[in-house]
Amino acid sequence: MSATYVLEIAANSLASALAAQAGGASRIELCTALELGGLTPSPGQIALVREKLSIPMHVLVRPRAGDFAYTGEEHATILADIAHCAAAGCDGVVVGALTADGDVDVARCREFVSAAGQLDLTFHRAIDVCRDPAAALEAVIGFGFTRVLSSGGAASAMEGSANLRRLIEQAAGRIEIMPGAGIDAANIGALMAATGAREFHASAKRTLPTRMSFAPSDSLGMAGGETRSDSAQVHRLVDAMRAAAAGT
C-alpha cells in the first residue's frame, strides 16, 4: 500500500494480528472484547504479539466497557498499563478519558501523555461521546496526540462522514483523524472521497466455526466459534484503498 494511506486493523488475538499482517495492514490495534468496543489485552497477549509481529503494534488501553469517566483506581490502572506497553516494546497506545460533563479530562490525559513517553498516541472513540467534539479535538491536539479515532459521532464512519470531514478540516494537518466503525472494502473508497482522511481503522473480522466436536446448547452464548480478523478481508480493504487512491 502507498505510504500515503494507512490501514489499521483492530486485532483481538495473535491469530488476528497475524492475519492482519498477512493481508497487508499497515499496523494493528491490539485489544480484546471487540463486542464491547475493545478492552485492554493481557500482558501475555501483548508480549506474544510483539514477539511475532513485524508491523507496528498499538495497544488499546481501556480498563472496562461503558463510559470514559474513570475513577481514581481505573485511572491508576490505565497508567500502569501504559507503562507496561512502553516496557514491552509496543509502538503506541490508544487511550482517552472524559469528565462527567462530557469534556476531555485534561488532567488525566496529561498524565497519559507523560506515562507514554515516546509511544505514539491515539485518542480513541471517547471523542464520539464528547459534549463538544470540536473543543475536544483542540484539547487532544494540545496534548500532542498523533491521531484521533472517530466515527464522526455516528454508528458508522459512513454515517458520520460529514462530521469526520469537518474534524479533518478543523485539524488542518495538526493531527490525523482516523475514521473507524463499519468500514469494509465496499465502502472505504467512498469514505476516502467523502472525508479526505488518510488513515482508516477496521476489524475485518469473521466468526469461525467451533473447534469442539461436542455441541452443547448455545443458550449461554458460549458454544460458538472464535471471532477473528480475516486476512482475505484485510487484503480486499487494501486493494480497495489502492484503487481509490489511484483514482484520485
Each residue of 118-176: pLDDT tens digit?
Answer: 999 999 999 999 999 999 999 999 999 999 999 999 999 999 999 999 999 999 999 99
Between 20 and 227, the more confident residue is 20
pLDDT at 213: 72
Q: 31 lies in a domain? A: yes
Q: 211 lies in a domain? A: no
pLDDT digits (tens, 9 = 90+) for 37-69: 999 999 999 999 999 999 999 999 999 999 999
Res 102 pLDDT > 70:
yes
What domain range includes position 74? Answer: 6-206+224-246
Number of domains into which the chain is organized: 1
Q: 218 lies in a domain? A: no
pLDDT at 220: 57
DSSP character at residue 157: T
pLDDT at 109: 97
With CA atoms as reference, report the closest residue to 8 among 92, 134, 82, 128. 92
In this structure, which long-range contacts are made by residues 105-114, counting pairs with CB atoms below 8 Å and at least 24 apart in sequence?
A: 105/69, 105/70, 106/139, 108/70, 108/75, 109/139, 109/140, 109/143, 110/143, 111/75, 111/79, 112/78, 112/79, 112/82, 112/143, 113/143, 113/144, 113/145
pLDDT at 194: 97
Q: Kindly report the CATH number assigned to the domain that includes residue 112.
A: 3.20.20.380
pLDDT at 2: 46
Residue with cell 478492552: 39
- Taking the C-alpha atoms of residue 187 and residue 237, their distance in angstroms, rounded to an integer, is 9
Q: 16 lies in a domain? A: yes
pLDDT at 248: 62
Categorize the per-residue pLDDT at 214 as very low, low, confident or very high, splitting at 50, 70 and 90.
confident
pLDDT at 206: 81
In this structure, which long-range contacts are made by residues 70-78, counting pairs with CB atoms below 8 Å and at least 24 apart in sequence?
A: 70/97, 70/105, 70/108, 75/108, 75/111, 78/112
Q: 14 lies in a domain? A: yes
Q: 216 lies in a domain? A: no
What burial letters (b/e) apply to 226-235, b meaning 16+ CB within 10 Å? ebbbbbebbb
